[in-house]
Amino acid sequence: MTQSIGFTDIDFERTGKQVGFLNLPSSVHDDAWGVVRVPLAVIRNGTGPTVILQGGNHGDEYEGPIVLGELIRDLAPEHINGRLIIVPAINTPAVEAARRVSPLDGLNFNRTFPGDPLGSITQQLSAYVNDVLFPLADAFVDLHSGGSSLSIIPSAIVEPAEDAELAGRIRAAVRAFGAPMTVVISNFGDPRTSTASAVRAGLVTVGTEMAGTGTVSPEAVRICRDGVRNVLVHLGVLEDEVAPASGAAGDMLYAIAGPRSYVMATQAGVFEPYQDLGAAVSAGQPAGRIHFLTDPQRTPEELVHGADGIVYGRRHPGRVKPGNCCVVVASKCEDRS
């Protein structure tokens, strides 16, 4: 297999706490011999499992990187049993730019797995996670928020797994997170996400969606902080005296039911939603309308829901163009675990 040309001063096998960088050589116009530096921390102690904690998959989702930065500053080796590999801002160029996608190659990191160690920088990053980090680990936590375009109910996410036993362990770990909602999301079956890739690698995988809209939600920071610790306690890495007491999530499991769960814009204009997040809706019910602000005589166009459930996510920017996701409905589903 082709190997990454990246290098790091971190020794993944060493006991104790190390904070450093993964360096990917990057030869660009204004820096011929420089590197892209991705912050990386390893805390190792005892014989427990290895857990990768990843933030900054998208560069405009802040709760994960904030909480992982706290962990890096606060945790000492004696607090844990096992190994934490903490990557608080994996897509560093996107985090620096506060953009979902990398400014270096325009790619969405979460659509590049399994990556390419000799590809563009984003492809090199996913290859590093896939080829170097995944083989070291037992579990993977990927902390997302809604990003600049979406407002989402804070929730823990189940990535579907074909293997029933792994699926059960995943579901248990996701429930341990203790989010207000638990949702199964398959991204239309897209195999290029980091969680889909982690599941293929056999890792116990936990995803999240924490509020969003490109801002920092103090409430979502709290949910994320507690949730990460809860998962680490569940996995046996953190001693429970450090873990917070919260996490009384509902029992219900939700899922995005497929294309009909998405209300897509049909016109260019400004979308006015009719329901708040969490509202119960049913198929056929109006979801909002698109206004034509510079053509005030034109009647706004109404959009309707295609599925029964609750309003799980909503577009944040008022401006829409055809195909934009305006509302996402999550439907109740059987928990087969």
How many helices (H) and strands (E) in the chain?
Answer: 6, 18
Residues 150-209 that bind a second copy (CB under 8 A): 150, 187-192
- Residues forming a β-bridge with 45: 82
Give whichever of 239 and 272 is closer to a second copy, judged by the CB atom: 272
Binding a second copy (rule: CB under 8 A), the pick from 26, 57, 155, 208 is 26
Give whichever of 250 and 318 is closer to a second copy, judged by the CB atom: 318
- Is there binding between residue 302 and a second copy (CB under 8 A)? no
- The terminus-to-terminus CA distance of the chain in angstroms comes to 36
Residues 83-112 that bind a second copy (CB under 8 A): 86, 88-89, 92, 95-96, 98-101, 105-106, 108, 110-111
- Is there binding between residue 65 and a second copy (CB under 8 A)? yes
DSSP annotation of 50: E
- Closest C-alpha among 214, 317, 306 to residue 256: 306
Q: Nearest approach, Cβ of 280 to a second copy (angstroms)?
A: 16
Residues 238-277 that bind a second copy (CB under 8 A): 259, 262, 264, 268, 270-274, 276
- Contact between 250 and 175 under an 8 Å Cβ cutoff? The reply is no
Q: Nearest approach, Cβ of 70 to a second copy (angstroms)?
A: 9
Separation in Å, CA 334 to CA 37, 47, 117: 43, 36, 40
Binding a second copy (rule: CB under 8 A), the pick from 81, 213, 230, 331 is 213
- Closest C-alpha among 22, 11, 12 to residue 56: 22
- Is there binding between residue 147 and a second copy (CB under 8 A)? yes
Q: Are strands 150-158 and 309-315 parallel, antiparallel or unpaired?
A: antiparallel
Q: Are strands 204-212 and 139-144 parallel, antiparallel or unpaired?
A: parallel
Binding a second copy (rule: CB under 8 A), the pick from 42, 48, 53, 60 is 60
Binding a second copy (rule: CB under 8 A), the pick from 7, 16, 164, 242 is 7
Q: How many residues bind a second copy (CB under 8 A)?
A: 94
Structure tokens, 53: 């904690």
Binding a second copy (rule: CB under 8 A), the pick from 29, 165, 251, 336 is 29
Please count the other Cβ atoms lying within 10 Å of the Cβ belonging to residue 239: 13
- Closest C-alpha among 256, 221, 186, 202 to residue 49: 202
- Contact between 275 and 281 under an 8 Å Cβ cutoff? The reply is yes
Q: Nearest approach, Cβ of 125 to a second copy (angstroms)?
A: 13
- Is there binding between residue 23 and a second copy (CB under 8 A)? yes
Using CA atoms, how far apart are residues 182 and 209, in angstroms rounded to an integer?
10
Q: Are strands 150-158 and 181-184 parallel, antiparallel or unpaired?
A: parallel
- Is there binding between residue 218 and a second copy (CB under 8 A)? yes
Binding a second copy (rule: CB under 8 A), the pick from 12, 49, 69, 277 is 69
Q: Nearest approach, Cβ of 161 to a second copy (angstroms)?
A: 18
- Is there binding between residue 324 and a second copy (CB under 8 A)? yes
Give whichever of 48 and 65 is closer to a second copy, judged by the CB atom: 65
- Is there binding between residue 315 and a second copy (CB under 8 A)? yes
Binding a second copy (rule: CB under 8 A), the pick from 136, 293, 304, 332 is 293
Residue recorded with tokens 């510079």 = 294
